[in-house]
């Protein structure tokens, strides 16, 4: 059956007629027939085999580049280097395989939520059956602790409460009943007559008839959306994919051009191929994928220090690009701890300070701090809240409430006034929705006392008098009702309190006792915003990141919290789930960038909001804790699950988990994400500039063959030397850039345009300058020391010239690394020892270089020859232009930027 029939609106008679069932349930024969028609009550989960999932990891342009590098290196006979490259390929594929496996586990976590057994009426008798055999029309019995096996229309209920947090995101249990609701487009949280699959009963009992099973249930629809939702690629992944596609095409074209030119200028086919292979090896950034993976892994560790646990490596970088944060309210923007903020009694309104469950705070009257014990009506009102209460306050590492959060708030407000004594309880009338009150009888001094709490309207109707200045005066019904309404408009949950003294012989209370009560006062409470969140929202706003609140709570509460925090202030900034349900996708697309607060939303709304924001070009971070949030978490650019209150499904569908459920931690993590991205940019620009220079050396050598006869003899660099530079350079020089200290003002500028490509003006400047400087330096040194060896032919001197060129390239890399520490600031503007890993890397590469040049066994492997020490000053001189030119580029760029501001 489809939910489009709006089961919550139907009368019970019509419901049973449509289902062709009754309160006695189905017969076994009829159930068997329906099982064939509707299928099993389960969700079909499509899974990819592990082998196919592993092979999928190789379908990536960056992997193609590495495989090409391995093939070329194998053709050159360098088997050790082939092993290194293939190791990088397999390592990246393994990481992707593990990540994708974790993503699939979100579906598995949802599958585990399916109930295995349930109690039903079959053939007029109560039986236990596997829940997968349930069919529409079956009658299911519910009691406290029962997990609901399908979507049910309740037709009997007794104090029935359901925890629907996993579906709706609301932390408070929802009271259920059998009454139909004649209102269109209600969100699941308002459908009181429906019990939803996957949620569970917290108290009471009831009976319901199955109206939807399997994928037709709300939980099944969520699973369907999740299976249809593709994993979003992060901005860096998209850019790298596009860049590597261009790189592959460029390498093939240049290598082919190089081969044709070499052959044209008189080289044989084999040497022409070797020269082209050297060019390909020079340009391919073999070590870059491994360095990027390590950079992201380093980011994971940094994020963990900010209470953000990363589940998928690329999301480290993606968080730094976020333009919109769609956040839950309860527990993320607020404490998820109900707190009494105002008390009205004795015709006075008291404000209560302190937030959360810690019993620390003050009472203020007319903005002045008072001693609560001097105000009798206040003490009695707080005492009533403490007495008529079934919760308890406990302290472990922090204060926590066992029981109803509302009752916990009443205990805390009493404790703040040092009201802690509880008189012995004799009897109780528990809270029931039809009564709208709770009453307790306690032993007192001489007389016993009845304390009552409940909805203000109900309490006032049971009172004739009120306590004012210690006297029992005639009840001012209209005045108190107005006060209660004003508190409610401020999004406070309001409870009324009253008392009555009875003879000490009375040990039982009945509904008949609920008259001629003495009204004590009102307590208004709220789940307060976290103190640090307002500053975090301001901080994210300064960084060009918009905050959007999406909550299952009521509009009044959502508006009050959003206005307090400064989220989308104004009438037109809030919309409800009911209004969204009446809108088309196109209409939602038109308003989604203008609305900042969504209240009383259904599960599908959050997903729709997320996808429409993405269509607007936003990079969307979404927080969530319930099963209902899983589709949006998976669809988001960055899905953020709650670590404390989050369900397994939400965590498995997310990219990262908040250890403290705190919005402020997201903003801190965004700053870390930007820091990590900036360092990744430095690594990419450093690596690609270095590769560009090596490629230009080989290509220039081929183009200069007709002019310079030395290039007829050999190339300036051997393929094995180029490969060593690429791999070891990544390890010792590029990798330390990841540890570069955080630059100031990362949250003072808007997020980078996600459409901005790696090949931009900055890329072209840096790569162009360094490539030219490297080619100029290496070729010059090669010619200066190699040309004299042609007449007469001196192979030793030519090998030394080649080694000198190889050394020049390494030194250009080192000098460029020093200035690559910042993309815009001069190398002289920060401490040379602020990054110790950079120093370690430079020393390591220099020691390795000296061993390759002067240690005979390594000379054989790398085809080098010891060079005279008197050559070194000239080599260093020709290696410096790269550093000098990049420093000049930064200075000119800053000068232009300053002139634009002026």
Q: Which residues are catalytic?
A: 328
Element (H, E) at 111: helix 79-112
- Record the tokens describing residue 347, joined without a space: 């015709």
- The number of beta carbons lying within 10 Å of the beta carbon of residue 56 is 14
Please report how many Cα atoms fall inside a 13 Å half-sphere around the Cα of residue 861, on the Cβ side: 15
| Residues facing 203 on adjacent strands | 161
Backbone CA torsion sign across 42, 43, 44, 46: negative
Give Cα separations from 300 to 60, 166, 303, 305 (angstroms): 23, 28, 5, 9
Give the helix, strand, coil percentages of the chain, each rounded to 5: 50, 20, 30
Nearest C-alpha neighbor of 372 from the set 406, 415, 407, 341: 415
- The number of beta carbons lying within 10 Å of the beta carbon of residue 856 is 9
Backbone CA torsion sign across 350, 356, 357, 360: negative
* Dihedral over alpha carbons 578, 584, 586, 591 (to 10 degrees): -20
In angstroms, rounded to a whole number, what is the distance separating the alpha carbons of residues 246 and 236?
Answer: 15
In angstroms, rounded to a whole number, what is the distance separating the alpha carbons of residues 694 and 284?
Answer: 10
Q: Rounded to the nearest 5 degrees, what angle is found at the Cα of 893, between the Cα atoms of 888 and 897?
A: 150
Nearest C-alpha neighbor of 495 from the set 373, 371, 366, 338: 338
Crossing angle of helices 531-542/663-703, nearest 10°?
30
Cβ(325)–Cβ(545) under 8 Å? Answer: yes
Element (H, E) at 838: helix 836-854
In the DSSP assignment, the letter for residue 529 is B
Cβ(153)–Cβ(206) under 8 Å? Answer: no
**Unique residue bearing structure tokens 């996708």:** 585
* Dihedral over alpha carbons 547, 553, 556, 559 (to 10 degrees): 0
**Unique residue bearing structure tokens 């932390």:** 171
| Residues facing 813 on adjacent strands | none
In angstroms, rounded to a whole number, what is the distance separating the alpha carbons of residues 375 and 381?
Answer: 10
- Record the tokens describing residue 79, joined without a space: 């088997």
- Record the tokens describing residue 889, joined without a space: 């580029």
**Unique residue bearing structure tokens 């050297």:** 278
Cβ(445)–Cβ(323) under 8 Å? Answer: no
In total, the chain counts a number of residues equal to 902
Cβ(839)–Cβ(833) under 8 Å? Answer: yes
In angstroms, rounded to a whole number, what is the distance separating the alpha carbons of residues 788 and 797?
Answer: 8
- Record the tokens describing residue 667, joined without a space: 């903003």
- Record the tokens describing residue 520, joined without a space: 């004590």
Cβ(106)–Cβ(634) under 8 Å? Answer: yes
- Record the tokens describing residue 605, joined without a space: 């709304």
Strands 493-503 and 447-454, sheet pairing: antiparallel
State the greatest distance between any 2 C-alpha atoms of the chain, in Å, as a whole number.
Answer: 127
In angstroms, rounded to a whole number, what is the distance separating the alpha carbons of residues 64 and 786?
Answer: 37
Please report how many Cα atoms fall inside a 13 Å half-sphere around the Cα of residue 892, on the Cβ side: 8
């Amino acid at each position: 059956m489809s939910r489009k029939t709006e089961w919550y609106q139907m009368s019970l008679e019509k419901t049973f007629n449509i289902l062709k069932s009754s309160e006695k349930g189905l017969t076994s024969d009829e159930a068997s027939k329906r099982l064939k028609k509707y299928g099993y009550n389960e969700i079909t989960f499509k899974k990819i085999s592990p082998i196919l999932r592993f092979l999928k990891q190789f379908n990536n342009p960056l992997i193609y580049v590495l495989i090409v590098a391995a093939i070329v290196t194998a053709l050159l006979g360098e088997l050790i280097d082939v092993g290194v490259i293939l190791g990088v390929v397999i390592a990246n594929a393994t990481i992707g395989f593990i990540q994708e496996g974790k993503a699939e586990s979100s579906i598995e976590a949802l599958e585990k939520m399916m109930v295995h057994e349930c109690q039903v009426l079959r053939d007029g008798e109560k039986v236990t059956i596997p829940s997968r055999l349930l069919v529409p029309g079956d009658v299911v019995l519910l009691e406290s602790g029962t997990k609901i096996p399908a979507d049910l229309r309740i037709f009997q209920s007794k104090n029935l409460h359901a925890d629907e947090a996993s579906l709706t995101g609301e932390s408070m249990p929802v009271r259920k009943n059998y009454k139909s609701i004649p209102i269109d487009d209600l969100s699941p949280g308002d459908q009181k007559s429906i019990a939803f699959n996957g949620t569970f009963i917290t108290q009471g009992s009831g009976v319901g008839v199955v109206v939807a099973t399997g994928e037709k249930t709300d939980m099944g629809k969520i699973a369907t959306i999740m299976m249809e939702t593709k994993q979003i690629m992060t901005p860096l992944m998209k850019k790298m994919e596009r860049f590597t596609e261009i790189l592959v095409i460029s390498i093939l074209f240049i290598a082919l051009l190089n081969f044709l030119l070499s052959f044209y200028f008189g080289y044989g086919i084999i040497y022409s191929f070797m020269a082209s292979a050297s060019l390909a090896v020079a340009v391919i950034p073999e070590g870059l994928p491994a360095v990027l993976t390590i950079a992201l892994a380093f980011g994971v560790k940094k994020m963990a220090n900010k209470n953000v646990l990363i589940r998928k490596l690329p999301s480290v970088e993606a968080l730094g690009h976020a333009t919109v944060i769609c956040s839950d309210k309860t527990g993320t923007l607020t404490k998820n701890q109900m707190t009494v903020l105002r008390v009205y009694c004795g015709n006075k309104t008291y404000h209560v300070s302190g937030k959360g469950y810690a019993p620390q705070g003050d009472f203020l009257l007319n903005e002045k701090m008072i001693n609560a014990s001097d105000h009798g009506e206040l003490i009695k009102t707080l005492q009533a809240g403490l007495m008529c209460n079934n919760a308890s306050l406990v302290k472990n590492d922090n204060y926590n409430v066992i029981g109803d959060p509302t009752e916990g708030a009443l205990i805390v407000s009493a404790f703040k006034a040092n009201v802690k004594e509880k008189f012995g309880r004799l009897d109780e009338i528990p809270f029931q929705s039809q009564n709208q009150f709770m009453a307790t009888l306690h032993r007192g001094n001489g007389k016993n006392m009845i304390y009552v709490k409940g909805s203000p309207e109900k309490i006032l109707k049971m009172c004739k008098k009120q306590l004012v200045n210690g006297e029992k005066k005639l009840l001012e019904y209209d005045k108190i009702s107005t006060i209660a309404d004003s508190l409610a408009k401020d999004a406070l949950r309001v409870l009324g309190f009253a008392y009555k003294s009875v003879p000490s012989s009375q040990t039982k209370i009945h509904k008949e006792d609920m008259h001629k009560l003495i009204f004590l006062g009102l307590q208004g409470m709220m789940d307060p915003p976290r103190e640090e969140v307002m500053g975090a929202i301001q901080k994210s706003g300064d960084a060009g990141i918009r905050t959007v609140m999406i909550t299952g709570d009521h509009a009044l509460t959502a508006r009050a919290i959003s206005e307090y925090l400064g989220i989308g202030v104004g009438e037109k900034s809030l919309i409800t789930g009911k209004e969204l349900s009446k809108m088309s996708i196109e209409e939602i697309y038109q308003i989604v960038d203008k609305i900042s607060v969504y209240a009383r939303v259904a599960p599908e709304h959050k997903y729709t909001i997320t996808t429409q924001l993405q269509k607007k070009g936003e990079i969307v971070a979404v927080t969530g804790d319930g099963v209902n949030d899983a589709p949006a978490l998976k669809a988001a650019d960055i899905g953020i699950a709650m670590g404390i209150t989050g369900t397994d499904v939400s965590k498995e569908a997310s990219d990262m988990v908040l250890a403290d459920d705190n919005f402020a931690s997201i903003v801190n993590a965004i700053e870390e994400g930007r820091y990590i991205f900036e360092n990744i940019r430095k690594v990419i620009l450093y690596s690609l500039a270095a590769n560009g220079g090596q490629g230009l050396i080989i290509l220039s050598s081929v183009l200069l063959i007709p002019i310079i006869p030395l290039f007829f003899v050999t190339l300036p660099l051997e393929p094995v030397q180029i490969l060593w530079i690429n791999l070891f350079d990544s390890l010792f020089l590029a990798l330390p850039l990841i540890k570069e200290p955080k630059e100031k003002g990362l949250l003072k500028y808007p997020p980078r345009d996600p459409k901005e490509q790696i090949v931009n003006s900055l890329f072209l400047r840096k790569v162009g300058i360094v490539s030219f400087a490297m080619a100029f330096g290496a070729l010059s040194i090669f010619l200066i020391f190699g040309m004299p060896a042609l007449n007469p032919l001196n192979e030793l001197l030519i090998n030394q010239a080649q080694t000198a060129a190889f050394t020049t390239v390494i030194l250009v890399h080192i000098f460029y690394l020093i200035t690559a520490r910042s993309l815009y600031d001069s190398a002289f503007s920060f401490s040379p020892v602020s990054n110790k890993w950079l120093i370690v890397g430079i020393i390591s590469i220099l020691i390795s270089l000296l061993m390759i040049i002067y240690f005979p066994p390594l000379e054989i492997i790398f085809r080098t020859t010891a060079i005279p020490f008197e050559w070194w000053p000239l080599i260093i001189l020709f290696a410096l232009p790269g550093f000098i030119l990049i420093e000049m580029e930064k200075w000119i760029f800053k000068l232009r930027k300053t002139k634009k501001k002026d």
